[in-house]
Amino acid sequence: MRRTYAPNLNLIERFWKFFKRQVLYNRYYETFADYKAACNQFFADLDAHAAQLRSLLTDNFEIIPSY
């Protein structure tokens, strides 16, 4: 049986998707320094996203039986 890659089950993939939504989507950074500052700000303020991350980064998955 070959296992397929499931990024939605990988916690770091979900974290990076959340990061991109917060920092990249629908945003334009004039310089790389501005982009870097936004990234640093995101990581400095992780507590501000605690509730969203707590719900997103759970390993409580529904198990679907294989037949």
What does pTM read for this prediction?
0.71
In 3D space, the residue among 9, 10, 11 whose CA is nearest the CA of residue 64 turns out to be: 9
In 1-67, where does DSSP find H-type helix? 11-23, 32-44, 50-56
- Chunk the chain into consecutive blocks of 10 residues (it has 67) and report each block's average pLDDT, rounded to whole numbers: 68 90 95 97 93 81 66
Position of tokens 């920092």?
23
pLDDT reported for residue 11: 83
pLDDT reported for residue 3: 66
In 3D space, the residue among 18, 4, 20, 6 whose CA is nearest the CA of residue 61 turns out to be: 6
pLDDT reported for residue 1: 60
pLDDT reported for residue 13: 87
Residue ranges per structural domain of the chain: 9-50
In 3D space, the residue among 49, 20, 47, 50 whose CA is nearest the CA of residue 35 turns out to be: 20
